[in-house]
Amino acid sequence: MSTAADKHAIRVKSHAQALGWDACAIADAETTDPTNRLQNWLDRGFHADMDWIERTKSLRVDVQKKLPGTHSVVVVARSYFNGDLPDPPDNSGLIARYALGKDYHKVLKKPLIELAKFIESLGDEVDTEVQTYVCVDSGHVLERTWAERAGLGWTGKNSLILRRDMGSWFLLGTVLTTLLLTPDTPMENHCGSCRACIEACPTDAIVEEAVVDSNKCISYHTIENRGDIPPSIQNDMGNWVFGCDICQEVCPWNRFAKEGTHPALKPRPETTYPSLIELTKMDEATFDQRFAGTPVRRTKHRGMLRNAGIAQKNTQRKQVLCWYQEQHKEP
């Protein structure tokens, strides 16, 4: 016989689908990080200068500190994949796919709040006041850890959550709730012996399976790093001016990526392959206007000038190398 927790879990998943979420899974709100994965990562200095992660560690590893009495963690996913993009024009910058449309924090927060309100309404059926806490990446919740625990996907060797029917091109949202919901079973890891993401990373940032060293990561340096980027990283950045998708582009499971349906997450002309020359000459007002409402503004104007300058040098170096190889090609 189905329990109230079973019935409520089914209804939560159904409502999540009605709100446009592509997947939904549920985990028991036990200890978030029983193997101290986060602390080990911090101890190795892999967070670079992102000190706020260490300062908020206690909140991240214990959902009870965010919402006392949490029984269940609902994890949802929404695809931002928009099919194969055309080849980039010469002398253009590359921006990670998730940042090509409107800022996903703003796009996903509303349907996540609507899902939380629905969960709260289920308390009327068991004569209990239900509380919730929502998070879309910016809160102190380990979304990927909960996604793995809930069986929404498995942790790939690039540290991202993967699904057989969606690959990794999707965004996560979480709802902590005091309502008791039947949890799902964790998903089997299907990476097998594949090392495509590890071998493709140009800076060797994936130091071991599912462990990324931010000090070597192109995404960290083009977005979070406010200082100088080490020359050893610059040389391998290619044309990336915001984020990096290389480890996802080579993942075999992304052959099955599900195309996203939310119009706000579709690429904008102003973010898709911007001219490096324009970026290096862009003043702050133009930068703010061009990238208004997108995640790209996180790098700030100064950061974009730095990134675009590096990308331009890499492009010129590549062009010279190609010319040299052409000139010295054997007849």
Please give the helix or strand (H or E) that residue 26 lies within, else none: strand 23-28
* Domain contains 31: yes
- Quick check: is 188 in a domain? no
What's the pLDDT at 111? 98
* Claim to verify: residue 150 and residue 251 sit in the same structural domain: no
- pLDDT above 50 for 329: yes
Contacts with 119 (C-beta within 8 Å, 6 or more apart), sequence order: 12, 74, 130, 132, 175, 177, 179
Indicate whether 245 belongs to any domain: yes
Same domain? 53 vs 172: yes
Of the candidates 142, 177, 212, which is a domain's last residue? 177
Q: State yes or no: is 137 an active-site residue.
A: yes
Does 221 lie in the same domain as 161? no
Residue 185 lies in a domain: no
Q: Which of 145, 177, 209 delimits the end of a domain?
A: 177
Residue 33 is predicted with a pLDDT of 82
**Is residue 162 located within the same domain as residue 229?**
no
DSSP state of 291: T
Rounded Cα gap, residues 100 and 270, in angstroms: 8
Residue 330 pLDDT > 90, yes or no?
no
pLDDT in tens, 213-227: 999 999 999 999 999
pLDDT tens digit sequence for 258-308: 899 999 999 999 999 999 999 999 999 999 999 999 999 999 999 999 999
Residue 322 pLDDT more than 60?
no
Question: Is the domain of 76 the same as that of 166?
Answer: yes
Whether the per-residue pLDDT at 326 is higher than 80: the answer is: no
Burial classification of residue 239, based on how many CB atoms lie within 10 Å of its CB (0-12 exposed, 13-18 middle, 19 or more buried): buried
Residue 261 resides in a domain: no
Residue 320: pLDDT band with limits 50, 70, 90: very low
Selecting among 28, 33, 137, 236, the annotated active-site residue is 137
Percent of the chain with pLDDT over 70: 95
Interatomic CA distance for residues 270 and 245, integer angstroms:
19
Reported as a single tens digit per residue, the pLDDT across 160-186 is 999 999 999 999 999 999 999 999 999
Q: How far apart are CA 103 and CA 68, in angstroms?
A: 30
Task: Examine the domain organization and report whether 118 and 242 are in the same domain.
Answer: no
Looking at the structure, do residues 26 and 159 belong to the same domain, yes or no? yes
Instruction: Tell me, yes or no, whether 12 and 149 share the same domain.
Output: yes
CB 37 within 8 A of CB 44: no
Which of 146, 177, 208 terminates a domain? The answer is: 177
* Owning domain of residue 281: 196-256+267-327
Strands (E), 149-264: 154-155, 161-162, 170-177, 206-208, 211-212, 240-242
Examine residue 186 and state whether it is found in any structural domain, yes or no.
no
Query: Does residue 16 sit within a domain?
Result: yes
Task: Indicate whether 171 and 205 sit together in one domain.
Answer: no
Q: Report d(CA 243, CA 175) in Å as an integer.
A: 27
Q: Are 296 and 95 in contact (CB under 8 A)?
A: yes
Number of domains in the chain: 2
Q: Judge if 135 and 15 occupy the same domain.
A: yes
Task: For residues 145 and 47, state if they share a domain.
Answer: yes
**Whole-number mean pLDDT of the chain?**
94
pLDDT > 90: percent of the chain: 89
Which residues lie closer than 8 Å to 19 by C-beta, 6 or more apart? Answer: 111, 114, 115
Tell me: do 101 and 129 sit in the same domain. yes
Whether 304 maps to a domain, the answer reads: yes
